[in-house]
A and B are shown apart, each in its own frame.
Chain A
Amino acid sequence: MLILFLVIVTGAALPFSSFFIRVFTGDMSRGIPGHIEKTIYRFTETDPDHEDGWKGYARDLLAFNGIGFVILFILLLLQGFLPFNPENFGAFNLFTAINTATSFVTNTNWQVYSGETTASYLTQMAGFTVQNFLSSATGICIAIAVMRGITRQSTDRIGNFWVDITRCTLYILLPIAFIFALILASQGVIQNLDPYAQAIGYVPTGQQTIAMGPVASQEAIKELGTNGGGFFNANAAHPYENPTSLTNLIEVFLILLIPVTLPLVFGRMTGKMWQGWMIYTVMLVLFLGSFCTLYAAELTGNPLVKELGVSGISMEGKEVRLGLFGSSLFATSTTATSCGAVNSMHDSLTPLGGLVTLFMMLLGEVAFGGVGSGFYTMIGFVVLSVFIAGLMIGRTPEYLGKKIEVLEMRAAVIAVLVPGVLVLLLSGIALVLPNVEELMKNPGPHGLSELIYAFASMSQNNGSAFAGFDASKPFYTLIGSLAMVIGRFVPAVSMLALAGSLAQKKKVPPSSGTLPTASVTFSVWMILVILIIGALTFFPLFAMGPIAEHLTMIGGI
């Protein structure tokens, strides 16, 4: 079933990747959408034929996201005075607003608020949905700029950010989100601006107020852009966000679609499809490994509960209609990308199941990775792997004819290590602060897992949570915001720098001294490099958290 599903995703990604190329070369800029695009350029006085170097590209990208932050922040504070607010929600509290605005601009969608009791429909649409589009488009732009850097030579230009983000939003994200929003709505995902429904309830059950809202339009882009911020507190476990096992598969399809497509876009752009397939394969192997581990762990279930005379897998925090397969597939996909939407409560997964979700985030979310961010982090790993291999066998490190030198290495190491260092640093600081246990819902090693998960999720811009952990204190909202900003923009800018530097270099034709990077050997090598960096950096944390809990559970300690 999983194989069939992945074949479908890949089958869709293949034609989609050539569509990507056409969009970013301006080949799609015709007809009515092309007219809209040209009008936008006229209005913003943008010359679509002008291209920038990496510094200009990074400057524009930061300015654009900065504006996005300011607007969302203001919207959150003013929502009480604005329309489309049938439940009359007041302003977000200041710290929540800072954290939430940062979270949505950085594509994290970490949520310290609960949607149905805090956010007006205007905030959901003009605040969160907008950032779901634009933060994911930003990620894709960086990935495309990095691809240009690698494929071009003897130029310092890597593209025009204004043009890239406009095209990405108009031709890629909007049409797909629109179609899938309607498909989801046909299956029962709600889409309305009604006040909350007052139900009298079936005879014996009593009254029930049912939260409403424009959910489908947000659900589609939240998965497609690997954003993951739920309309409701229960996220994609809520029956109005994810009503059937079919919508569940559609949502996972959307989560994986762009991350699976990007390596193939890269293959097409370099003219060497095998280079794209190599990256795809590395991602696939990591994904399959983690899915199987998580599935097996959940299938085995919780022996402590079985001892009480309860049969079956542990259904705590899972939905009946989504089942074991649907829940495992979603949990793996959401942490393998930077999505962070959840259809089961990760806090209640078995220790090893929870470990897989934590592990996937800490690897850097590269299999298949967040929209854009997964791909460029993966290029960081490629550069690292090429360099280490080059050192070991005594060849000049080069990738696709480009020499890897000090600047490239510096950029790659920053992109790969910064989020991880943040996790370790912040978890360390949080642990020595007094009363930290009070924030944890669960005792023992599981509490530690909750804390690490929180910082991993924010630093890696995932946004899912072991939601028992209370991160709503001002201190945590602020260092959390800092973690999200650093975890997002430091790797992004350093990868743009790498792109800029590679673009200037001349391609060296492959010689007998060239390390072939589209080979099985290199794929295996890359998987090892990724695992060594992920596993060794965090092994002590894994051992003290989930692994210790697993041993306690099976009676080993």
Chain B
Amino acid sequence: MTSLKRATLLFTVLFLITGFVYPMIVTLAAGFLFPNQAHGSLIVDNENRIIGSTLIGQNFTAPQYFQSRPSASGYNATSSGGSNLGPTNPVLLELVDNRKNALQKAGVTDPIPSDLVMASASGLDPHISLESSLIQVPAVAKARNLPEEKLKALVLAESVNSPFSGAYVNVLSLNKALDEMDQ
């Protein structure tokens, strides 16, 4: 048998095993063992409509909500990616400056944590740092006419601590909790 013919035969076998058998078994097993995670950790409302995913960020800009990070893709979950702007690029510095001014206009004070004015890698980052949510408390409290202490307590309750990245907050679940509290 020639080398090419044997290569074709062996490739066919391994192609079927690694390209079909393996991913299909993983799909079945993951769907059975972890159905929620395997299908995207989706959040569904009472009428069975998909609200979004706990893992995928959404673009909150209204003043009565905590804001998400800037996104190079506008939180388009079919077009992930970062800005790829280099550290000395004037375009980046101008963007950061504009975002900072907008936040200041909304009542957020200096110094602003960088995750709130710099775009994420995926464009879908669901989190902001604890610091970034705390500095938004006065602005959101004012927009909703709620006491700041109550909001601060809510933020702290929602924050997750990680030894690798410091404390952070899921913006979607924070804002949901905020709406529930404010009803």
Which A residue sits closest to B18, measured CB to CB?
A: A133
By beta carbon, the residue of chain B nearest A204 is: B62
Kindly supply a per-residue 1/0 record for chain A positions 111-132, scoring 1 wherever the CB is within 8 Å of any chain B CB and 0 otherwise: 0001011000000011101100
Question: When the two chains form the complex, which single residue of A68, A238, A446 contacts B88, counting CB atoms closer than 8 Å?
Answer: A446
Question: How far apart are the CA atoms of A377 and B23 in the complex, in Å?
Answer: 32
Contact with A along B1-18 (1 / 0, CB 8 A): 101101111110111011
Interchain CB contact (< 8 A) of A44 among B6, B65, B88: B6
User: For B82, what are the chain A residues with a Cβ–Cβ distance below 8 Å?
Assistant: 234, 237, 316-317, 344-345, 347-348, 467
Q: Which of A237, A301, A441, A446 contacts B122 (CB 8 A)?
A: A237
Q: How far is the CA of A186 from the CA of B91 in the complex (A)?
A: 40
**Is B117 touching A310 in the complex (CB atoms < 8 A)?**
yes
Report how far A302 CA is from B89 CA in the complex, Å: 11
A64 to B165, CA, bound (A): 44
Which listed residue, A71, A201, A202, A216, touches B30 by the CB 8 Å rule? A216
Which residue from B59, B100, B128, B162 sits with its C-beta under 8 Å from A206? B59
Is B49 close to A, CB under 8 A? yes
Q: B87, A350: Cβ atoms under 8 Å? A: yes
State the interface size on chain A (CB cutoff 8 A). Answer: 122
CB of B140 within 8 Å of the partner chain: no
Asked if residues A245 and B42 are in contact (CB atoms below 8 Å), the reply is: no
Q: Which residue from chain A places its CB closest to the CB of B2 in the assembled complex?
A: A63
Segment from A17-25, A176-184, A411-419, A508-516 that makes contact with B: A176-184
A209 sits at the interface (CB 8 A): yes
Chain A residues, Cβ within 8 Å of B57: 239
Q: Which residues of A contact B90 (CB under 8 A)?
A: 443
User: Using a Cβ–Cβ cut-off of 8 Å, how many residues does chain B contribute to the interface with A?
Assistant: 98
Query: For the complex, what is the distance from the CA of A523 to the CA of B33, rounded to whole Å?
Result: 48
**A520 interface residue (CB < 8 Å to B):** no
- Binary interface profile of B, 118-130, with partner A (CB < 8 Å = 1, else 0)? 1111111111110
Tell me how far the C-beta of A315 lies from the nearest C-beta in chain B, rounded to whole angstroms. 4
> How many angstroms from the CA of A260 to the CA of B28 in the assembled complex?
32
Question: Which residues from 134 to 183 on chain B have a C-beta closer than 8 Å to any C-beta of chain A?
Answer: 162-166, 168, 172, 175-176, 179
Whether A201 and B51, one on each chain, are in contact in the complex, defined by CB atoms closer than 8 angstroms, is: yes
**Contact call B40/A321, Cβ cutoff below 8 A:** no
CB distance from B9 to the nearest CB of A (A): 4
A375 within 8 A of B: no
Q: Are B52 and A310 touching (Cβ within 8 A)?
A: no
* CA A437 to CA B119, docked complex, whole Å: 24
Inter-chain contact A316/B119, CB cutoff 8 Å: yes
Residues on A with beta carbons closer than 8 Å to the beta carbon of B7? 60, 63-64, 66-67
Per the bound structure, the CA–CA distance linking A174 and B89 in Å amounts to 44
Most buried by B among A192, A211, A234: A234
- The answer to whether the Cβ of A212 comes within 8 Å of any Cβ in the partner chain is yes
- Specify which chain B residues have a CB less than 8 angstroms from the CB of A169 in the assembled complex: 14, 17-18
Query: Which residue of the partner chain A has the closest CB to B35?
Result: A192
Chain A, range 160-184, C-beta contacts under 8 Å to B: 162, 165-166, 169-170, 174, 177-178, 181-182
Q: Would you list which residues of chain A between 217 and 232 have a CB under 8 Å from chain B?
A: 217-218, 221, 232
Say yes or no: A44 contacts B13, CB within 8 Å.
Answer: yes
Counting chain B CB atoms within 10 Å of each CB, which of A134, A345, A444 scores highest? A345
Interchain residue pairs A-B with the least CB separation, the first 3: A323-B165, A237-B121, A234-B80
Taking Cβ atoms with an 8 Å cutoff, the residues of B that contact A are: 1, 3-4, 6-11, 13-15, 17-20, 22-23, 25-27, 29-31, 33-34, 37-42, 49-53, 55-62, 65, 69, 75-90, 92-93, 96-97, 100, 110-115, 117-129, 131, 162-166, 168, 172, 175-176, 179
**Apart from the given pairs A162-B6, A467-B81, 8 other A-B contacts in the complex at a CB distance below 8 Å:** A67-B7, A134-B18, A190-B41, A194-B39, A208-B56, A216-B26, A312-B114, A348-B86
